[in-house]
Structure 1
Amino acid sequence: MEYPALVPGTLLRRYKRFLADVRLDDGREVVAHCPNTGSMRAVNVPGCRVWLSPSDKPARKLAWTWELIELPQPDGTSAAASVHTGRANRVVEEALRSGRIEELAGHAAIQREATVAGSRLDFRLDDPERGSTFVEVKQVTLREADGHGYFPDAVSVRGRKHLAALAALAAQGHRAVLLFCVAHESIEDVAPASHLDPAYAASLREVAGLGVEVMARRCEVIREAGVPVAIRLGRRLPVSLSRELDPAMVVD
């Protein structure tokens, strides 16, 4: 997925869930739309470099959208994380249609937002010979103090509903897949966040035992002259259903 021309700035604060104050590199302070309803644990870091996409649509209340944040790493480098949760499905759809997710390649038809088993899932893949595959996408940006990635970043009742729907489909003989779209460049693996939502973690382990496939892929941010110009789904990452964060490393 290609970005529009992104504009750099510094995050001042995020507030009221959907708003962020940003100081652009030219000195202007603007209010940007924050397209992320979650806690944004570990990616809402004032003082960090951020990238905004502009809009000139008259109907929009805000002319800016917060897309990415550059997070400092222990080795002195920075890692980009996408805070725009709406981008995850677009990135995954692009990868599905191009056949770049080998485990899910070769289907004759791809449908967005399939309502099944009392829940709306992100994708339905159909094939005359293999039948239907249902895919739910979850964006992962939480990298905890132990260096590992976790999901969710807060209690997710909706996430547990999606797991139940996937398990019901697997019981009916369909292929059911939970795909973690890891939108943080320094995350190398994913585990359920038992320290934040033990009920979700327990449900994920349960449905995995009932036939729901759990996989993860990491996004790659493409840059030109240091400026992000695109984001795409890249390599596979391991998923550990048993790993838990050491309680001593939990930071509020």
Structure 2
Amino acid sequence: MQFSAAFEQGKLIKRYKRFLTDIELEDGQQVTIHCPNTGSMRNCLFEGEKVWFSTSDNPKRKYSRTWELAQSDAGHLIGINTGRANQLAEDAIKDGVITELQGYANLKREVKYGSENSRIDILLWDDSDSNQPKCYVEVKSCTLLEEGQGYFPDAVTTRGQKHLRELMEMVALGHRAVLLFVVQHTGIHSVQAADHIDPDYALLLSQAHQAGVEVLAYCAEMSPNCSSLINSCPVKL
């Protein structure tokens, strides 16, 4: 994913009210920018460290700047904008990087599915092959690093639990279902369920895997100019 313009740099002051972040620009000016991350951002908030942001020219936006990247105190880059994960996944599928998701002629985003009225992040299918099951891909952004291990989620997620149930439902209906962790943290090299944060999610993930839901993880290479998924990493189930 090549960004339309290189991100600008600042320094993190604090995040608050969930969607707001104060930063210091390179000229010393302090500004408030939008934080596009609904999670707890556990172990992603390093006050005084570098951050990068994009700027929108939409005059209707209250905050024109959006937080995109953070730097940890160990020098790792972290993708703050969880909305980028789906595009990273789509690009990696189209470019052949995610080898497990090749062989489909069609890709569509945000398709309604399931008995709990969700939208699947990516739906893959091939009209020319009636015997090929549709593939439902749910994408999750993984940014929590603790003691060298990557975890998901970083907070209790009833929404994530619902998605696992619906993926299991798709398998039961004869389709293919995939949970894809997009790792937006350069210090994470393996992923596992955060049982110490959301034990219900961890249990449900194990049940989903046993029921036939495939679980994949791919790591992103990130910079202020571009970002892309480059390789798979292990998922500990």
* TM-score where L is the length of structure 2: 0.95
Aligned counterpart in structure 2 of residue 94 of structure 1, from 91, 96, 108: 91
How far off is 1:34 after superposition? 0.2
Report if the CA contact (8 A) 2:133-2:174 is conserved: no
Aligned to 1:229: 225
Q: List alignment gaps of at least 5 residues for structure 1.
A: 223-227, 242-252
Aligned counterpart in structure 2 of residue 136 of structure 1, from 135, 138, 162: 138
How far off is 1:103 after superposition? 0.5
Distance across 1 between alignment mates of 2:76 and 2:45 = 14
Distance across 2 between alignment mates of 1:131 and 1:111 = 15
Aligned to 1:247: none
SS of aligned partner of 2:208: helix
Partner deviation per Cα, 1:25-44 (whole Å, 9 max, x = no partner): 11111110000011000102
Report if the CA contact (8 A) 2:193-2:205 is conserved: yes
Residue identity opposite 1:88 in structure 2: A
Residue identity opposite 2:220 in structure 1: C
- Say how many residue pairs are matched: 231
Distance across 2 between alignment mates of 1:183 and 1:31 = 23
Report if the CA contact (8 A) 1:99-1:106 is conserved: no
Distance across 1 between alignment mates of 2:209 and 2:133 = 20
Distance across 1 between alignment mates of 2:212 and 2:64 = 45
Matches within 5 A, 1:1-252: 1-3=1-3, 4-73=5-74, 78-118=75-115, 119-127=118-126, 128-129=128-129, 130-144=132-146, 146-222=147-223, 228-241=224-237
How far off is 1:63 after superposition? 1.7
Report if the CA contact (8 A) 1:150-1:193 is conserved: yes
Distance across 2 between alignment mates of 1:131 and 1:206 = 21
SS of aligned partner of 1:103: helix
SS of aligned partner of 2:125: strand
How far off is 1:5 after superposition? 2.1
Distance across 2 between alignment mates of 1:98 and 1:235 = 12
Distance across 1 between alignment mates of 2:27 and 2:177 = 48
Q: List alignment gaps of at least 5 residues for structure 2.
A: none
Residue identity opposite 1:108 in structure 2: A
Distance across 1 between alignment mates of 2:13 and 2:101 = 41
Distance across 1 between alignment mates of 2:230 and 2:155 = 26
Residue identity opposite 1:125 in structure 2: L
How far off is 1:161 after superposition? 0.3
> Runs of 4 or more off by more than 4 Å in structure 1?
none
Distance across 2 between alignment mates of 1:44 and 1:17 = 12
How far off is 1:56 after superposition? 2.3
* TM-score where L is the length of structure 1: 0.89
Residue identity opposite 1:109 in structure 2: N
SS of aligned partner of 1:131: coil
